[in-house]
Structure 1
Amino acid sequence: MTRLAIDTDYLARTLVRLLATPSPTGYTDTVVRETCAELESLGLTPTLTRRGAVCVVLRGREARPARAIVSHLDTLGAQVKQLKDNGRLELVPIGTWSARFAEGARVTVFTDRGAVRGTILPLKASGHIFNEEIDSLPIGWPMTELRVDARVHSKADLIALGIEVGDIVAIDPQPEFLANGYIVSRHLDDKAGVALMLAALKALTAHNEPPPVDVHFIFTIAEEVGVGASSALTDDVASVVAVDNGTSGPGQNSAEFGVTIAMADQTGPFDYHLTRALIRLCRDEDIIFRKDVFRYYRSDAASAVVAGHDVRNALVTFGIDASHGYERIHMHALRSVAELLSAYALSPVEIRRDAVETARGLAGFTRQPPPEPIAEDLAVSQEGPLA
C-alpha cells in the first residue's frame, strides 16, 4: 500500500480557514498569502507567479518527468456593474452561476476605501409590497440588486460612500460542518480541493521516502473565469492532475463518497494513460471510485492543454451536490481524493519517454492496443443460444 494516512482533522481545520478568507476571482491576494503561510508551516518553500499562482515542489529522486497536482484558490463572486438611482447596486457575476443562488446572499463589497456589507435581493423582495409578483419575477442577474447596509438612498450617496463601478463583491460561504461528515457551504469549489491537497502534502512531507520524481503542487487564482493552469506550469512538468468538484446529480455518475475520476469534460477526453493509471491506483489501494463524464464543465486540467502545454491531463474530483449553488460534500470523498494523490505522488513513473518534450522515433512511445473481442458467456442448448 502506497497511499498514506490523511489527517482529516487538519483537513477540516484548513478548510474552515480557507472558507473564512474571501477570494472571488480578481481578489485573491489574501488567500494566496494564507496559503503560502500554511505551506511554510509544513516546512516547504512556495514560489509565486506575478499575479499570485502558488507552487511548491516536493522534490523526488529525479526531476523529470515531473508531475503537477493543481487546484484553484479563487471562487465565484460578483462585480458592481452600475450604481442605481435608488441607492442600490446592479451586479454581474464573476464566473458562471445562477442569480437564483445569489438571492438572499450576504456579501462584502471591496471598495478602495474599505469593505461594505450588504445583501443581494430580487427587485421585488417584499410580499407585503408586491404580493404574488414576488413569485412571478423572472430569474436572472438583471432581476437582482445589492442592498448596501449603509444610509444610502441615491447614486450620489453610493459615490459618497466610496462605491464605484467595478468593485468586487464576495459572497458569504455560510459553512456548516456536520457530525456525520457532511459539509455544506458555498465555495467548496474549490476550497475543499485546496484543503485536501494541503492534507496530502502534510502526509507526504512526513513520509520518510521521496517520490520517484518531482511533484509540483500548484494553486491557481483564475480558474472560475477559464484561465486556471494556463500559465502556471514549467517545462519539466509532463502530467497534470487537477483536483476539483464532481457534479453529482441526475444524469451524472459522480458521488459524494469516494473518488470520482472524470473521463472527459466539455473540452474532450482526458489523457488515456494518465486516467487509467489513476484508476489502477484506486483499485490497487482499495480506494472507492467511480467514473463520470462532465458535459458543462472544464477545469485546470483542461485550461493547461488549451493554453498549449503538451502535458498529459486528468481530473480527480470529490462529488458535490448543487455545484455553484449551496454546495454539499462529504469528508469521505475529501479523504479519498487526498489518499489517491498521496498514492499517485509515490507511484512509479510508467512512461519514461515523458521526461523529454520530443523524441525521435517510436521507442518508448505509448500503445493503445486494439482490444480483444469480449468472449460472450452464453448458455448454449441444442436449439441454440438461450434468450
Structure 2
Amino acid sequence: MIRRFLYMVDIFDKSHGPISRRLRRINPSHLFYPNDALPVPQSSSSATVVEDAPLPPIDMTFCGSTEFMRRSDDKIVSVDRTTRRAILYDPAEHTVRVLPSMVEYKFWTKSFAVGDDLYVMETIPLPDKVDLGRDARPGRSFEALIHREPRPVDGDRIEDECYWRPLPPPPYVHAAGIRTDGQICGYAVVGESHILVSTHSYGAYSFDTASAAWSKVGDWALPFCGRAEFVPEHGLWLGLSVADDGVLGAWDLSSTIHHQQPPPVAHHGCKGFAVPEVPYASHVVHLGAGKLCVAKLFMVAHHRETCSHSCCDFDSDKRYFAILTGVEVVRCNGDKVDIIKHKSCRYSFVGSDPEPLLDTTAGVLLPLPPDSCNSIYGTYSVGVFQARISRKQGVDEVMDNSAGSTMRTGWSGEMDQ
C-alpha cells in the first residue's frame, strides 16, 4: 500500500495583485512498473529512461505569502509568514480549519513530523531573543505544533486541540560564528521521540521530544544531505549522499543516538539520479511498501540577445523541470539490501504558451536556485529554505515532512484505505 498522491506547490505571480500558491497532486503509482513487470536488473550507475508528463491540474489555491508543512496524518499546515496565522488543510476532504498562530515567524526552516506533532526549526538556528542590530528579532528558532485532547474551558468553550510550544535551539548555537557555519545539513526523525540533526562544523545532535532536551551525538556529520527518509519495511533510512547527491544510499540510524557512533552503511549507493544541469534542490520521499520517490529540480537557461545595441544586455529564457523517479528497496541473497530504480517522469513548468498554467516556474515545493535574476526574497517553511522568488515566477519546496514526514517540506500524500 503506497500513498495515493504526492502534493506539490508552485508560486504564480501575475505581475499584479497577490501572489498565489497552487497545490497540485500526482499519482505516484505511475512511477512504478507492475509487480509482474519489474525492471530488468541493471547496474547501479545506469540511467533510467525519462518520460515527459503533463502538468497536473490545480487542486487548491492559497493566496498570500503562505508556507506549508505536512503533518504525519497527511493534512497540510499553512502559515502566513508575515502574520504567523495558521490553518489546517485536509486535501482528502477539501476542508480548512483555523489553527493557533505560530509563536514567531520563521525564515528558511526544516520541519519534522513526530507522531501527532509537528516540529519546525530554522535551518540556521540562533539563540533565543538575539539582538543583532538591524537584524534584531525576538528569536524563537525552534517550536512545535503540539496535539492535545480538547477539553472544556470557560464554560462551554472548548480549547484548541493543538498549540505552538517554544523549544530550545541546539546547544551549538552559543558557539562563536554560528551565523556563518551553523547550518543544518542533514536531518532525520529516529524512532517515536527523537530528531537527529547535523552540521558540517559542530557535529551531530539529538533532540528528545519527550523531555524537550538536546544531547550531542558526535563530532561527525551525517552521511546524507537534507532529509533521510525512514523505510519501516526494512528498518533503514534512505537519503542522498552528502558526497554526491546523484547517489541514493541507505543507513541504519537506529543505534546512532544511544551508541553515539556514525550510522553503519546498509547500501553503498545506487547511482543514476543525476540530471542534465546541476540540481538546485533534491529530495527523497517515502511512499510506503518499501517504495520511494526521488525528486530533482533543475533549471535550463537559453540566452538570447534582446537588442543589437550595446546598451542592451543579454536576457535568458529559463525553463524549470522536476524529474521524479520511483525507487523500490528489496531484500535478496541472504537479506542483502538492493535498490531498484523504476520509472522517471519529467514535468516542465515553463512553456512558450502564455497561458497562466505555464507562466510559472513550479517546483515540487523546492527552492529557486540562488542565482535567479530580478528576484525578491521570499520564505517557505516547508522542509527548509529561504527561496528567492522571481517577480514573474517562483518555486516552493518539497513538502518534506514525510517521516511521517515532506512538505517540503515537501511532498505529502494520502494513503490508500
Query: So what's the TM-score if we normalise by structure 2?
Result: 0.26
- Structure with bigger strand share is 2
TM-score (norm 1): 0.27
Q: Which has the larger radius of gyration?
A: 1
More helix by share: 1
